[in-house]
Structure 1
Amino acid sequence: MMLTEINFDGIIGPSHNYAGLSPGNVASANNARTASQPREAALQGIAKMHANLDLGLAQGFFMPLDRPDDRWLASLGTNFPDADPYLQAAAMSASSMWAANAATVSPAPDSADGKCHLTVANLQAMAHRSHEWPGTLAQLKLAFAHDAFQVHPPVPSPFGDEGAANHLRLCSSHDAPGLEIFVYGITGGKYPVRQHIEASRAVARYHRLDPARTLFVAQADAAIGSGAFHNDVVAVANENVLFCHQLAFADPELTYAAIRAIMPEVEIIEVPRNIVSLDDAIASYLFNAQLVTIPAGDGPDGGMALIVPTEARDNAAVWGWLEEMVRGNGPIRKLVPVDVRQSMANGGGPACLRLRVVADPATVDPRFIATPEKLDTIADVVAKTWPQSVSPDEIAEPGFVAAVHQARSALLDALDLSELV
């Protein structure tokens, strides 16, 4: 098999709104109760996928989940028209668009059975996300039905698991055995911890990982308390590079030493707190970036690219540090700003929108693999059917609910994925 990294982006759903449902997510709280633009949001995400294809990267996508989630409401003894506003908002949430929280992925070279393992995240810390996993699991089982994959159900409650947003993988190349790092929280002060070490250890067992090449690392309390509700807000890894903030981990020196003991060739790029503050890093989502390897012949000196939100470019301290970094002789040689402002306003940057899967593209259901033409088809459906604007007060209106159902059905039909209805 020809293994390569495929970025699967969540298509931003027609119910995208700013209800402010996520304590600890600074952007979500700051923009709560404002009007969102679902159509613009989805088109921004599609443009990002087009840009990835232009870089020569393999790209896939996941469908929005059915919203509102009537089955979840029924389990609570109510229905959408009769539910209180909080439950209505939670049932209508489009947060499955952040595919980094869909699952944790361990590629075949890391597992004892030679399969690529995916464990769907339970997301039990937040009500509006806790009911995503059944729909996500159904989609993962469809996309990765080939025998090359093993798809697992979620870790049981009460052990919170937030998927790949708290997982790092280092390796000499994507198709080589890697070092997998599970980052968990201990206490976030005023904000809830979302990733539990018990969940991380369970996922590692499900995936049959080599304990000698698996680390469990505590996230810094200061990071969680400042709004880094997931580790991917303060750290990102790609092949042999770890790019992180100085305050990402509870004990950075011990963490770096443990990594180097297993993988001496690692390059750790730590951004100092006195140059880029934790607040600036979180506001700009500097680390919630896609750190990718540019295919040979497509990039400057065959190095890596950092796909960052335009908010990083707009922050003088952040952009100044990044420009100085790429002028050096380090592994990251190219900066690619992308406009995902609609997602950013709800607390999700470029990295939140994608799930990384190392696999042979030929083993993936082709309906989930992006091409320029397929992305154009998706954009055409979005432009015709996605609501243009919605405020949190409008999400319960019958007309909006009908529009959301119509839009998603049109997309499923266009991509021949009606079994996900």
Structure 2
Amino acid sequence: MSAREVNFDGLVGPTHTYGGLSLGNVASMSSEDQVSNPRDAALQGIGKMRTLLRMGLLQGVLPPHERPFVPALRRFGFAGSDGEVVEAAAKAAPALLRNCSSASAMWTANAATVSPSADTGDGRVHFTAANLAAMFHRSIEHPFTSRCLRRIFEGEAFSHHDALPGGGAMGDEGAANHTRLSASHDAPGLELFAYGRSAFEKLSGLHFLPRQAREASEAVARMHRLDPERTVYVRQSQEAVDSGAFHNDVVGVGNGPVLMFHERAYEDPRAMEDEIRRKSEPLGFEPVFLEVPADRVSLLDAIGSYLFNSQLITLPGGGTALILPTEAEDNPRTKRWVDAQVAGNGPITEAHFLDVKQSMKNGGGPACLRLRVVLTDAEREAARPGVLMDEGKLDALEDWVRTHYRDRLSPADLADPKLLEESRAALDALTQTLGLGSVYDFQM
């Protein structure tokens, strides 16, 4: 049965601000307290979706999370009407309000890990919501993420797993540390999990702590019923983490048989390559390794430009394209490397540079904004149709953004109870547009 990849992009939420909340994310930390433009951010994301749709790719959307998230603020002792809760939190605990207002769920590469039915022992598509335990503002996301995925992907074709327990260093950061290599999207594949540490390993003297635990990756693989002979675990290099590669997708990306990664991305890249070669041979494909040398593109260049946080996609007519942020075009070293790949005889045949600056300033490039879900025709038919995009639906989303979103927002504006009202009105309208029904806490 034929299968195709669907990119489910996260819609940027109405409270998109530069809160500087993500320790280890250099772009997020450096943009702290700057004024954001939620309207532009959302329109840039929809523009990226439209570009891929016009290239012949399948495109879906995931809705923003409810923010400010009043139920979490109530758990911290704030009471009264919802507006009074926001006002009281703004006065007594402004940092808490900022965390409970983050629109970081827009980066759906962190939403979950997904294994297609061609890889799993029971022939179903498996989803595990990521616990995102490393950061408080992200750790509150997984209940709604799981609820939303269960609503979109209902029925016997799909298997859903709750987020893993997140105590201590048991962090699971979702698909940002996971990729899949295969001959084609509908062929059995090899699933690659990158991790930064053991959850029980004592680490000290590091600039930034790794976020992904090997034990979490192994648990996801077990729950998804993956064959150990088609599963690879690779450790991120601490040098990359300390340089700002808080997720593997900042220094590596894979698609089909191609794995593109920075020379300094992994602790032992040669052992990784050997294992991938050995395990891919029975699957009938030969892996293609595109290792970017550090003397051509430094780690700082790669992380600053988000060269690897690009979407590596299979074109309907054949060939592979890179969907990159314009920051990778502006950097002469990354641009030179991309141009050489397109001009050469390698797997990359096209490169497209897109403006997603509002997301980039907060530490997320094109690949951060999408969750890759490989679905057969029957599985796609079983998914909720309102979230699968066409030109008309994207037009409707743009109209929705222009109707409901502010064009200027600072972290101080999160204290405005009117923002809560505006955001809920926007989300209420969106669930009707997408045919999701009542999924938000405030709707129940």
TM-score in terms of structure 2 length: 0.92
Letter in 2 for 1:363: A
Distance 2:354 2:437 in 1: 31
Equivalence for 1:407: 426
Using the aligned pairs only, state the percent identity. Answer: 50
Equivalence for 2:305: 284
Deviation at 1:253, TM superposition (A): 1.0
**Offset from partner CA, 1:7-34 (integer Å, 9 cap, x none):** 0000001110001000000000111000
CA contact (8 A) 2:86 2:417 kept: no
Q: Which residues in structure 2 correspond to 1:75-224 (within 5 Å)?
A: 75-78=75-78, 79-83=85-89, 84-158=93-167, 159-186=170-197, 189-224=206-241
Distance 1:321 1:40 in 2: 29
Equivalence for 1:299: none
Moved more, 116-125 or 77-86: 77-86
**Offset from partner CA, 1:161-185 (integer Å, 9 cap, x none):** 0000000110011111111111100
Q: Which residues in structure 2 correspond to 1:368-383 (within 5 Å)?
A: 368-383=387-402
CA contact (8 A) 2:386 2:433 kept: no
Aligned partner (choices 318, 324, 327) of residue 311 of structure 1: 327
Distance 1:116 1:203 in 2: 13
Equivalence for 2:385: 366
CA contact (8 A) 2:152 2:436 kept: no
Distance 1:256 1:247 in 2: 14
Equivalence for 1:37: 37
Aligned partner (choices 350, 354, 357) of residue 334 of structure 1: 350
Deviation at 1:402, TM superposition (A): 2.1
SS of 1:96's partner is helix
Distance 2:434 2:238 in 1: 43
Gaps of 5+ in 2: 79-84, 198-202
RMSD: 1.2
Q: Do residues 10 (structure 1) and 10 (structure 2) align? A: yes
Distance 1:114 1:411 in 2: 32
Q: Which residues in structure 2 correspond to 1:242-261 (within 5 Å)?
A: 242-261=259-278
Moved more, 200-209 or 64-73: 64-73
CA contact (8 A) 1:23 1:192 kept: no
Distance 1:107 1:28 in 2: 32
Distance 1:2 1:362 in 2: 13
Q: Do residues 46 (structure 1) and 46 (structure 2) align? A: yes
Distance 2:412 2:20 in 1: 12
Gaps of 5+ in 1: 297-301
Deviation at 1:77, TM superposition (A): 2.4
**Offset from partner CA, 1:370-406 (integer Å, 9 cap, x none):** 1110011010010111111101111111222222222
TM-score in terms of structure 1 length: 0.97
Moved more, 191-200 or 311-320: 191-200
